[in-house]
Structure 1
Amino acid sequence: MSAEVNELASAVANIAGNGKLVRRNVHSAECDNRVGDATGQVKYVLGFYNIDLPGARHPNAFKLVQKHWRDLGWKITDDRFRQELNEGVLSAKDPRAGIDFTLSSTTSPDALAILISSGCFREAQPMT
């Protein structure tokens, strides 16, 4: 699942304007599931990334990513861009995979952030 999350982040960076992914930080953790599974094998993946992208390209990046997510049939859950400040937040959910995505401005005028959180999944059992 970590590889899939990395691929999804790379796709967002490309759609946003061929930005370069930097500061990759991907972790898995036990999922707080409601089925009472205490094996520790039910996990989720959380990925944090920065995209190096000049600030002048941010407004278009938000538009392109929003269109891409809508075209995929994902539900846009937050869509705010303040033109006067050149900053925003765009979030979506892939209803089929249960993955949440957020594209956000950062404190750097030449970077955007991506946050991706997978749905819960069961880790594959090692073959014995």
Structure 2
Amino acid sequence: GSLLPASILLANTYASSGDIEKATNIKIELHKSGAKKKAGVTLTEFDGKIWKFRAHDRSHPNSDEIHEQVDRMSRKLIEYGYKYDASWVVRPREADETVESLLCGHSERLAMALHFTRDRKP
């Protein structure tokens, strides 16, 4: 089998522990080998149709409403005391990115938000 998933996990573990050099070396070797990481996908059924989401996806026709719901969910979590853990972010952030924006764009959260667009809870 492929060592790609284990190599990515190892690189991310090094990065999260602060050993950026080892993480970078692994990623360079993966790039040289031509290995390609498959993007994670979340499938969910809504209104009798199967919808597919990827991280930070904007392909759904109600994308704006879904992302507004993600923002509402995030605000509610923070209101109840949740703090986003920056150690889960294992790559440098762009100038316009926050820890919250990186962690809240996961495909699973977008799928949940789609369902919450019908029932405004939380």
Q: TM-score range by the shorter chain?
A: under 0.3
Q: TM-score, normalised by structure 2?
A: 0.25
Q: TM-score, normalised by structure 1?
A: 0.24
As a proportion of its length, which structure holds more strand? 1
